[in-house]
Amino acid sequence: MYIVHSIFDVPAEKADEVIHIYKKRSRMVDKWPGFIDFQLLQNDRKPGELTVQISWESKQAYLDWVTSEEYQRIHDLEKKYPDKELANIVPKVYKYKVVAQ
């Protein structure tokens, strides 16, 4: 299994807005071969710190997704979000191979 975390900080007063956006996400990735699970995590102590966690069957499944036209379409839409402060946030991305369960 392969897990990807995209961690980003938003102003605390905008955290609920971002959470709402993710609750209404397109779910395109959910249909991608090798996709396992999507979760949006909120830091208990820093409400503006959000983490997108996506689990994959393999690193290759993840790489196939991030090089796809669907991935590009979704991320192009994010850049056009009307709130420029949110649209310009660049997440820190961490990738993990699951080595024990």
CA angle 60, 58, 97 (to 5 degrees): 115
In this prediction the pTM is 0.89
For 69-95, the pLDDT digits (tens) are 999 988 777 767 778 888 888 899 999
Report how far residue 72's alpha carbon sits from residue 88's, in angstroms, rounded to the nearest whole number.
16
Report how far residue 30's alpha carbon sits from residue 56's, in angstroms, rounded to the nearest whole number.
10
Amino acid at site 2: Y
For 1-55, the pLDDT digits (tens) are 999 999 999 999 999 999 999 999 889 999 999 999 999 999 999 999 999 999 9
In the chain, the domains with their CATH numbers are 2-97 (3.30.70.100)
Q: Please answer whether residues 52 and 25 qualify as being in contact, where contact means their C-beta atoms are separated by less than 8 angstroms.
A: no
